[in-house]
Structure formats: C-alpha cells, structure tokens
Amino acid sequence: MNGPLRRSGVVIMVLFGAIFVKLNWIQAYKADEYRTDDRNQRVQIAEYDRPRGVIEAGGVPLAENTETGGELKYQRTYPKKEVYAPVLGYKPLSGVAVGIESAENDILSGASDKLFADRLSDMFTGDSSSGGNIVLSLIPRAQEVAWKQMTNNERGVTRGAAVAIDPSTGAVQALVSMPSYDPNPLASHDSKVASAAYNELNNDKSQPLLNRAVANTLPPGSVFKVIVSAAALENGYNLDTEIPAGAVYQEGGATIRNSEDEVCPGSQITLKEALTTSCNTGYSKLGVKLGRDKVIDKAKDFGFEDESLKVGDLESGKGLTVAASRTGTIANKDGSVDKAALAQSSLGQRDVRMTPLEGAMIAATVANGGKQMRPYLVQQQLDSSRGTIYTAAPKALREPISSSTANGLREMMVSVVTDGTGKNAKISGWEVGGKTGTAQNTADGDPHGWFVGFAYKDGKAVSAVCVMLENVPGGHASAEAARIAGLIMKATAAQGGN
Amino acid sequence: MSRIRQWKTRRNAELGLLAFAMVLVAVFSATVEANQYDKINANFWVPAALIGGLFLGLHIVVRFTAPYADPVLLPAVALINGIGVAFLRRLDIARAIARDLPEPGFFAETSGRQLAWTLMSLVLAAVLLTVVRDHKIISRYAYTLGLIGIVLMMIPAVLPGKYSEVNGAKIWIKFGSAFSIQPGEFAKIALVSFFAYYLVRKREVLSLASRRVLGIDFPRGRDLGPVLTVWLFSVLVLVFEKDLGTALLYFGLFVVTLYVATERSSWLIIGLLLFFGGVYVAYLLGSVVGGPFANFYDRAAVWLDPFAQSNYERESGSSYQLVQGLFGLGTGGLFGTGPGAGSPSKVPEVRNDFIFAGLGEEIGLFGLIALLVLYLLIVERGLHAALAVRDSFGKLVAGGLAFTLGLQVFVILGGITGLIPLTGQTTPFLSAGGSSLMANWMLVAMLLRISDAARRPQNAVPERAGGAPKKAPTQLHGAMTEVIKP
C-alpha cells in the first residue's frame, strides 16, 4: 500500500504546486494590473486614509480636506471653487488628477522621497501624517481681483483670461481663465456625481475646462507690435527714427488701414509715436522692411514656438502645459516671403497666435531689463509639519533683448499708457507701461481685446500682466482689457480692493 | 528499559514548536493593532495566550494518551488555527472602528465565537484521543459510520433550499438564523473510516480479479458496483447541492482510498474519467437543458472569464466576489500590506470561504506560501503516518484523511485563485465556523492517534499508568489475520 500512498503524496504536491504557480501569477505577474483596476477600491482607500497635502497661497487654503467618517476618510475640497480651478485642477476619486494637483501629486500624496523623514517618523510615532503641502506663488488679492474684474467686466464678455507674473522672478501672481468650473463635484467620492459633473463641463460649448490663460492661443493683434519694435530697435532704429506710415498701405493682396482715420495719416511717424497710437500702416511697412526672418526670429526669442514650456514646479519641471504661440510661416507656397502675410503678421493678425501667458512674459521681459524669467507657480513645498523642503529658485528662461532695447521698449510702452491707447491701465503714482491689441478674427465676430503691460512702483518692477477678452462687443475692444490689467497690477502690491 | 528509552516521544519538541507558533500569532496581533489603532495595546498578547492555553491543554492530553504522536502536526495546525482567530479579530476590530465602537472584547464577535469553537474542537479532539486508544476500534462501527456519512452528505441535498442554501451552495443545515452546520465536513471523516474498512475487507478481490484491456488491469463488472454507487452519489451531490467542490471532495477521497487499497492505477483512471466526464456532461446539460444544471453552468462560465463586465455585474452568481478576492491578492503583492493594513472587508464572505484572499492581501505572496507549506506539512505528515503505521486499516484511514484534507485545501484555494470553478468550501482551520473546525480537529486527532501507533515501539510498555492499555493490539473488527505486503 505504501507505493500508492507515496504517489498520493505526489498528487497533493502537484496540486499544491499548481496553487503555488497560480498565486505567483496573481500576486507577482498580474499584481499591478489588479491593483490599478478601476473596480479595485483598495488603492483609493489607502490613498484617502491620510489627508492629502494642502495647497495654499498667501496663507489662504485653496485645496484642503474634510473628514467624511466613511470608508474613504477624507474628502478633497476647494473652498474658492472656480476662482483657482484653472491652476489647482482637481483630484478625482478615479482617473488622473489635473493641474497642480497632478503636477505635485508626489508631494501632496506623501509618496515623494523628499518626505522620507516624515514616513520614517510615522513608523515610530504610529501616526499617519498627511502628505506634504504646496505653497503657490499666487497673490490671493490679485487673483480675487482678476477673477472679479474679469467676470464682472463692463462689456458682458463671457470668455477670457488674465495672467500676472513678477517680472524679476517669473512667479505667477494671478492666473484666471473664464469661464471656470467648480472642482468640488469632480472630486466627489460618488462616481456618478463626479462623472455627471465632468460630462456636463466637457459638453459645455464655452469650454470651462479649457485653461484659456495657458492652453489656448488667439491672434494677439497689435500686442505683436512690441515684438516688431524690439526687432527694429535691435536693427538700427531708435525711438525717434521716422518710419513711413499713412492712412492706407497696400501690399500684395492685403490692404492695411488704421483703426481710426486720425491715427497716423501722415507719411512719416516716429517709432515711439507709432506704438503709442498703434499705427497699423507704420508697423506693416516696418515689418516688411525688416523682413520675415527678423520678425519671426525676434518672436522666437520672446518664446514663440516653444512647445515644451510648463508652468508649475521649477525643480521637477512639471506643471500646467503651455501651448506654443505661433507666428505662422509667412511664406508663399514656394517658400518665398509672402509680403502680404508679413504686413498682416506684423500687426499680430493672419496666422499669428499667442497665449495670454506669452503676452505677460513679453511685458515681463521688457520690465526685467531684457531677461525673461521662467514662469512658475510652486513657491514652496512644506512637509507635514510645515517645515520647508523646497523653495523656488527663480531661473532665467532666455534673454530675448538687450537691456538698452528693453529700456527703449519700456519708454515706448509707458508712452502708450500715458498718452496713447492704453490710458485705462493707469495707476496713479506708479509707472505703468503696456500695449493694447484688438484682434480681428472671423469676418463678423467681435474682435478680441488684449492688453499686455507692466507696472513699476518706486522704481521697481512689481508686475507684468496680460488680459485677454474674447469677442468684445461695442468697439475699443482693448480698453476694457487695459482697465482690468491696471487693477490686477495694483492688487499685486496688495492695493485696491476691486 | 534502556531499549525503550531510545524511542523518542518528541513531546518537548512539540511544546517548543507550539510556543513558537503562539509567538507568531502574538506578533500578528500586535501588527494588526499597530496598523488599526496606530498603537499596540498593552494586552495585545491576550488572544494568543488564550488560544495558546487551549492548545497547551491538548498538548498535555497528547502527552498522556498518544505520547509517540507526530510532534509537528499539532503545532502546525495550531499556528493556522491561531492565525485564523487573530485574523478574524482583525476584521472585528476594523468593524468596531468603522462603527465608532470600543475595541471588541476577547470573547466577543466572530473571533470570540471562533475561540469558543476552538475550545469545543479541542475538547472533542481530546475526548477522541482518550476514548479511542487504538484506531482499529473504529472499524467496529464502520457500517454505522458509513450510514451516518451518507445521511449527513445527503441531508442538505434533500432539504428545501430555505434550510440548506447559502450563497448558491446547498451544503448547509440551517437552524433558523441562529446557527448552521455543514454536515459534509463530518461526513468526510465518517466516509473515510467506512471506505477504509470496506476496502480492507474487499481489497483482495478488487485487486486480483481483473480483466486486462490495453495493458491495464480493469476490475470485473460486478466489483464496480460500489464505485459506481459512490460516483452516482457524487453526481447527485453536484447537481442538487450545486457544488462541484463537495462532489470532487467525496469522489476524490473514495477513489484515492480505493487506489491505495488495491494498488491498481486502473481505479484512478476510471475514477478520473468518470468524474470529469460527469462534470463535462453536467456542464453541457447546463447549457442545453438548464434546470438543476444551470447553476453549475453559470459558475463555469463565470470562472472562465471572471473579469468580463457582464460576469462581474450579473444578477446572481456574479464574479464580484472572485474578482474582489483577486484584487485583494494582487494589491497585497509579494509582501502584502501588513496585517491590519489592507481592506479585506471589500471581499464578500472574507470570514468564511474567502479568508485566504483576505489574508493574502495583508501577508502577501510570501505569507500565503508559508501557509500553503504549513498545509502541505500537515498533509505529508498524515501520509507519513499512513506509510509508517503497520495495519492496512490505519494506512487507509490516515492516508484517506490526509489526502482529503489536502484535496479540500486545493479545492477552496483553487477556487479563490481562479484555478478551478469556485465552490463553497471552508478553508480548514482558518475559516470562521464550528462545523469545519470541529470536523478538521477530529481529523487531526485521528492522524495523531495513528501517528502515535506508527511511531510507538512495537513492544513498548507504557511508561505511565495513564498510558496505552497493556492488552494485546486490537485486531481489525471481523478480519482474519492480516497479511501485510511489505
């Protein structure tokens, strides 16, 4: 009988061996697949077992947690709702986070190696501390003012964006996209609520989920004249150089007119005067005279065509993806210069497209003496006991213009605000400069109104801003943008309420 | 005397291993508290000490009644039993925390009940060891046991579903909502004893009278009678209890005892063909005829593709439980989340059928393999006793019981891991529930008894008054003088 008994033992060994192999298959080979399956809630439970780090700016909590008392212990909440949504993004229960919630997920969730000391002390104290906290560079007052002014604009515009950055550091002071969305339902633990909210936003024709400040490009109109001016100043022109102008300019198939008859009807105008009055004919002729390559190269120097910029964390390079601004090729089919296109492109029309962030970066470059700083949103990372583990070290991104060119542009742009089209941006007691833009788009649509500018307080550049309003009715599309820009810049110095 | 002393009882080794097992249980409990309460309570060791005390009691009984018993069996089973109680307590703690209740008492909730069941099981095992001083005595009651086994096996099948069905498997007898028993757990022990006796008496005729076909010796048609009867019972169980695992268990234990008794591999071939043929026919009938076969067909369909959304979301018999169990195992990965740090309560029935999946999330692949090796150790030690014991009846009983235990572990773990269709078996010594625990401890008591007989020196004189009786070894009931082949 012993033979069969031994063989029975072998049978059991084989059966157990099969279980052994299958367990390896499940727990080693397939483990990741099972762990991340949407129907597996365990990872979420572990994730929500300790509070996610807080995102804050200027001492104001922007993303925090409330205890639920349920299986998922903490609910992510966004007390400021749509005001900060384009920056913060949101952290959904399933699926990937967006915005800073995504870019700084490692710190917020506590998974980052930088929080190793926290995890180590957790092991000894038995507490499970929260993830690390993120301090944003945003200035709450500027952000609130920007949001309020944009959404309550005097023209009833429903779409637009505003960005303010500190010219000397690149720190983003305000970033508003309109319309925005309330991230709270998207972070709901009830997947039905979350997906219903998402579908509604995603199907909304006004695209509230689109971050118009960084992810959308539009024709910048006369704002582009700043770049043409920079190209001119670096090619032998100075502020007082007389350039040809006139009421009408025809080049190829394009006819260039000024916005109003009283703007530069004479045959000659100084460069400074041309920018101050936003002389279209003068800039078209100037652009054609300088040539396609000088215009395109200068735009590139300022950051056009940059496809890899992200605004968020200077250290990790993660952040909100910035769409590339474009000049277009300005070429005929055979590659030769399309002068009609060049004449129109010099006015920021035709195929020129720009993000509001790029607009603010152009103004900031001028205000910072020619050096463009890399924009960022993450000022500090704090561990769970609020010890600093990282502070942003501003980095130069590029140097588009020399300091003398910058000084010239500064003088010209200040003239725009004191004597020209940008008067609405004035702040009493401050030195404010800028450039307006009114961009025609479709044949019958209202034009987009732009303003890019900067402000000096007590001789120090405090803010550079870009305001963009889409399809502004009632003419003088840029005037409202200039007014809002002035208020935002004032608020960055914690002045002015509304 | 000096000749006798050379035979080691190894009882102190058993005690040492038992103490080590209880230390492991205490460490498990401490880790659970550290993860659940973020601190280790001063009395974390109490459950391990309580259950350790119970095992110590059985150890002392073994010292007196089966001094030569295998020293590894008891500690190995005790470790699994102890981990089971500690894991059930971990689930109780999590439930209490979720409901904002204070820490559950040591005798409260599922783990408290499991502790009480352990006490009863150990008492039963001790009584069995004390009363049955020689395993051959059991042969006197073989036919009674066979009848009891078949009755126990059939009760759930004939009872209305209201009194016998839990989660689609009709393998219970429910006494109201208060408690229910799984008679099949006891039936398997009774049946093994009966088969062993029956086969020892019939083995000559079954193994010698044969016809040769294709080089394999096949038994005569009329000798096939009992095999066909048991096969028919198994298929009936499969159809009416809606449980493939139970059917596989009964049929497997019969075929193996038959094979061991006759040493004829033809029995294995016939058995396997009959069983899998029957299963396949039942599957086909389920797809065509439906009716009583439909449940089995559905289970097989769910088993083939558990992750399909249609199987995951179906009204009845969905793969939800299986898939959540697999998610638990997968989330645990190689090392597990650590005891108390996972979410085993995501898996339905994690206290019973799916306790292995719940444990797997927290102790990981390495922990589960350790458990698997413990089970293997118990089974192989049982088979070792069967090899070493000197009478055929003992060999068949020990071999049959050990194999059945191994088969049951395979059936449930195979079901949980998706290796075979899921069936409603308990995991021996781990799952919450009295029937399974008591029956399996009786099984262990039998193995202890037989291993004692196997390791006892042939002419040993009991050293103590309380030792084995001094009369001559009992003869197998009704048997002629045995001739044992080497």
pLDDT tens digits for range A11-47: 999 999 999 999 999 999 998 888 888 788 887 777 7
pLDDT above 90 as % of chain B: 38
Contact by Cβ (8 Å): A79, A61: yes
Residue B212 in this model has a pLDDT that exceeds 80: no
Place B58 in a pLDDT band, splitting at 50, 70 and 90.
Answer: very high
Q: Residue B469: which pLDDT band, with cuts at 50, 70 and 90?
A: very low
CA-nearest residue of chain A to B336? Answer: A27
ipTM rounded to 2 decimals: 0.90
Q: Mean per-residue pLDDT for B188-207?
A: 82
Cross-chain Cβ contact B330/A32 below 8 Å:
yes
pLDDT in tens, B79-100: 999 999 999 999 999 889 888 8
The pLDDT tens digits of the residues spanning A369-397 come to 999 999 999 999 998 888 899 999 999 99
Between A and B, how many CB-CB pairs are < 8 A?
A: 140
Confidence of residue B425 (pLDDT cuts 50, 70, 90): confident
Question: What pLDDT was estimated at residue A498?
Answer: 45
Which of the four pLDDT bands, split at 50, 70 and 90, describes residue B49? very high
Residue with more model confidence, B157 or B15: B15
Handedness of CA B407, B413, B419, B425 (dihedral sign): positive
Banded pLDDT at B116 (limits 50, 70, 90)? very high
Angular region, A438: left φ>0, alpha ψ -120 to 50, beta rest: beta
Mean residue pLDDT of chain B comes to 83
Angle of CA points A411, A415, A416, to nearest 5°: 120
| Cβ atoms of residues B331 and B408 within 8 Å | no
Mutate to test the interface with A, among B257, B266, B372, B417 (most CBs of A within 10 A): B417
What pLDDT digit, counting tens, does each position of B150-179 carry?
Answer: 888 888 877 777 777 776 667 777 776 667
Beta bridge partners of A250: A255
- Quote the CA–CA distance of B475 and B473 in Å, as a whole number: 6
Task: Report the residue from A5, A22, A40 with minimal CB separation from B399.
Answer: A5
**Contact state of A3 with B323 under an 8 Å Cβ cutoff:** no
pLDDT of residue A259: 84
- 3-state class (DSSP) for residue B73: helix
What percent of chain B is predicted at pLDDT more than 70? 84
State the residue for tokens 């073994």: B62
**Would you call A333 helix, strand, or coil by DSSP?**
coil
Question: In Å, how far from its chain's centre is CA A465?
Answer: 12
In a mutagenesis test of the B interface, which of A5, A11, A30 is the best target, namely the one with the most B β-carbons within 10 Å?
A: A5
For residue A8, give the H/E element and its range: helix A2-24
| Tokens at B16, concatenated | 């040492």
Instruction: Say if residues B391 and B484 touch (Cβ distance below 8 Å).
Output: yes
| pLDDT band for position B2 (cuts 50, 70, 90) | very low
Residue of higher predicted confidence among B200 and B382: B382
CA dist A213 and A445 (Å) reads 21
Check pLDDT > 60 for residue B6. Answer: no
Integer Cα distance of A118 and A133 in angstroms: 12
Please give the residue that has the higher pLDDT: either B217 or B343: B343
Q: Is B389 a residue whose pLDDT tops 80?
A: yes
Cα gap A37→B283, rounded to integer Å: 30
CA proximity to B450, closest of B396, B376, B486: B396
**How far off is chain B from A62, nearest CA to CA, in Å?**
29
Contacts of A50 in chain B (CB under 8 A): none
Highest mean pLDDT among A37-46, A75-84, B421-430: A75-84
- The secondary structure of B185-246 as a DSSP string is HHHHHHHHHHHHHHHHHHHHHHHHSEEEETTEEEE-GGGGHHHHHHHHHHHHHHHHS--HHH
Helix (H) or strand (E) holding A467: strand A460-469
A15-19, A478-482, B473-477: segment of lowest average pLDDT: B473-477
Give how far B410 is from chain A: nearest CA, Å: 7
Band the pLDDT of A335: cuts 50, 70, 90.
confident
- Provide the percentage of residues in chain A whose pLDDT is more than 70: 97
Cβ-nearest to A9 among B98, B383, B414: B383
Nearest CA in chain A to B375: A16
Confidence of residue B242 (pLDDT cuts 50, 70, 90): low
CA proximity to B376, closest of A75, A115, A85, A17 = A17
Using 50, 70 and 90 to split pLDDT, how confident is the model at A96?
Answer: confident
- With beta carbons less than 8 A apart as the criterion, state whether B134 and B453 touch: yes
Q: Is the pLDDT confidence value at A493 over 60?
A: yes
The one-letter amino acid code at B93 reads I
When pLDDT is averaged across residues A250-258 and rounded to a whole number, the result is 86
The residue-averaged pLDDT of B245-272 equals 81
- The span from the CA of B377 to the CA of B355, in Å, is 20
**Active-site amino acid positions of A:** 222
**Cβ atoms of residues B101 and B40 within 8 Å:** no
State the pLDDT at residue B441: 96
- Provide the 10 A C-beta neighbour count for residue A338: 23
DSSP state of A215: S
pLDDT digits (tens, 9 = 90+) for B302-345: 888 898 888 888 877 788 889 999 999 999 889 988 898 888 88
A30 vs B contacts (CB less than 8 Å): 326, 330
Whole-angstrom distance, CA of residue A463 vs CA of residue A453? 8
Buried b (16+ CB within 10 A) or exposed e, A63-102: bbbeeeeeeeebbbebebebbbbbbbbbbbbeeebbbbbb
**CA proximity to B418, closest of B333, B326, B343, B332:** B326
Question: Which residue of A42, A68, A121 to mutate against B (max B Cβ within 10 Å)?
Answer: A42
Residue B234 pLDDT: 66
Q: Which helix (H) or strand (E) holds A133?
A: strand A133-136
Choose the closest CB to B261 out of A1, A33, A42.
A1
The owner of tokens 């807080």 is A54
Q: Quote the pLDDT of residue A424.
A: 93
Q: What is the pLDDT of residues A298-333, one digit of tens each?
A: 999 999 999 999 999 999 999 999 999 999 989 989
Contact check, Cβ <8 Å, B360/A23: yes
Cβ(B254)–Cβ(B227) under 8 Å? yes
Residue percentage of chain A with pLDDT more than 90: 72
Residue type, A124: F
d(Cα B327, Cα B347) in Å, to the nearest integer? 9
Residues of A in contact with B260 (CB under 8 A): 1, 4-5, 8
Task: Return the residue of A nearest to B360 by Cα.
Answer: A27
Is residue A432 within a helix (H) or strand (E), and if so which, with residue range? strand A431-439
Percent of residues in chain B assigned helix, strand, coil, to nearest 5? 70, 5, 30
Identify the pLDDT of residue B1: 42
Backbone φ, ψ for residue A183 (5° rounding): -75, -15
Average pLDDT over residues A452-474: 93
Amino acid at B324: Q
> Which residues contact residue B55 at a Cβ distance below 8 angstroms, ignoring those fewer than 6 apart?
B18, B21, B22, B74, B78, B81, B82, B122
Mean pLDDT of A249-277: 88
The nearest alpha carbon in chain A to B404 belongs to A12
Strand A388-391 and strand A396-398: the pairing is: unpaired
**Nearest CA among B264, B265, B283 for reference residue B275:** B283
Lowest mean pLDDT among A454-463, B184-193, B242-251, B460-469: B460-469
Phi, psi of A179 (to 5 degrees): -75, 160
Q: How many CB atoms lie within 10 A of CB A17?
A: 12
- With bands split at pLDDT 50, 70 and 90, how would you rate the model's confidence at B467? very low
Query: How far is CA A95 from each of CA A37, A65, B370, rounded to the nearest angstrom?
Result: 11, 19, 36
- Over residues A342-367, the pLDDT tens digits come to 999 999 998 999 999 999 999 999 99
Residue B245 has pLDDT above 80, yes or no: no
Q: On the CB side of B116, how many CA atoms lie within 13 Å of its CA?
A: 8
pLDDT at residue B465, rounded to an integer: 42
- The alpha carbon dihedral of A240, A246, A247, A250 has a sign of negative
Cα dihedral A483, A485, A486, A490 in deg (nearest 10): 140
With a CB cutoff of 8 Å and minimum separation 6, the contacts of A136 are A55, A56, A57, A62, A87, A100, A377, A378, A379
Residue A456 corresponds to which tokens in the numbers above? 């000096």
What is the C-alpha separation between A482 and A453, in angstroms, rounded? 8
B17 vs B78: CA distance, rounded Å: 10
